[in-house]
Structure 1
Amino acid sequence: MRILYHSAFCPFSRKIAFGLKEKKLDFEHQWETVGKPSSRLLSLNPWGELPVLVDQHLVCVNHYVSSEYLEDAYPNPVLMGEGNAYRIEVRRLVSWFDKIFYQDVFWKLFYEKILKCQLHHKAPDTRILKSGYALLQEHMEQVEQLTETHHFLAGKYFSWADITGAAHLSCIDYIGDIHWKLFPSAKEWYCKIKSRPAFRPFLNQILSGVEPALHYSQLDF
């Protein structure tokens, strides 16, 4: 039995769910609420962080451990690319999204606009939003540069870089904060990702009380 404890609009959760689907590994969904971990989740991870992947008797706490485990335990299909140089680039991009993009953009936009209200009943700070929008522009310019010359983010192979990037960007896209017309190559790449069967279920997920951007579920927008 394989179980994933996760939340629909946690980018780290999306990353592992997407990876599991790409590797065609069946799993049971155990839905959690961000900031309100269940007793079962706390018994597996006392910090209450998401996601937690349980595979038989093995418990993988957090997204980094889970993705590395999946690549080691289930090497087909390969999602790290071929060769040391490619794998280094994949890990660089994964780290960029999981650390820098998350702090610069997800935390300043999605958390500030959505989660802050839902969890703490507080209004967003306009100064933080302004900073988040500016940083989103900078990050999207980098994505645009990558996709102008690469079929996928790290190069010719679909990888954990694309999985991770799409997991983060899709959360921001849900609230309509990405101006895709300014980034045509990035948009073309994202359309390819949205069209993958493993990604499509995410496009049907709805955040309670928050309507998605009109184009969010469209494969070609």
Structure 2
Amino acid sequence: MDAVAPLGAVPAFLGVVLLIAATPGPAVALIVRRAALRGAAAAVPTVLGLEVGLLVWALLAGAGVAAAVAASEAAYLVLRVAGAVVLLWLGGRALWRACRGDADAPGSGGGGERAGAARRAFGEGVVVQLANPKLAVLVVALYPQFGSADGHPLLTAGVLGLLQVAVESVLYLALAAGVGRAGAWFRRPRVRRGLDAVAGTVLVGMGVRVAGTAR
């Protein structure tokens, strides 16, 4: 392990990523909404998508791509605009459902429809992470602080990325389980519409902030 990251640095790294994961953001908004309206199990694809996106950024950091993106004004601007568009689209869709009062409850539709919903949830998680410019900057700034000076950058980033994935997965799945316990209350039509409205407003607000905030 010392060839990748000093053992003494691992607890500090885990503490930092725990604080990062616990900070409210697009990932938390997606998980809470899906777990509340469709149950804890339905939030699993969202969590998987988010963690796949994170691991991709970690590997890109190890390969030097993330640093290039963070250093390039043009690339960072493109990624920032893409991230804003994704968040605005997700938030706008939630607000539209709130206005229409569309149903979104577990068990609706057949197995094919549920599988399609799971694929969409996974895809949303991946896209939200890959279009997050702050995540690119985070891995570039954070990972080298805990890596070994003589370690291979790609291997180091992969190991640290997997550690972060493990921490976030436990936290996010626990969050989904907790929210899912109150699912029956959340799925009341009036509460469901209110949750969509809140989630949509939060995502739109984050999209506006990403679009208007420089590094």
Q: TM-score, normalised by structure 2?
A: 0.29
Q: TM-score, normalised by structure 1?
A: 0.28
Q: Which has the bigger relative contact order, CA under 8 A and spacing at least 6?
A: 2
The structure richer in helix per residue is 2
The structure richer in strand per residue is 1
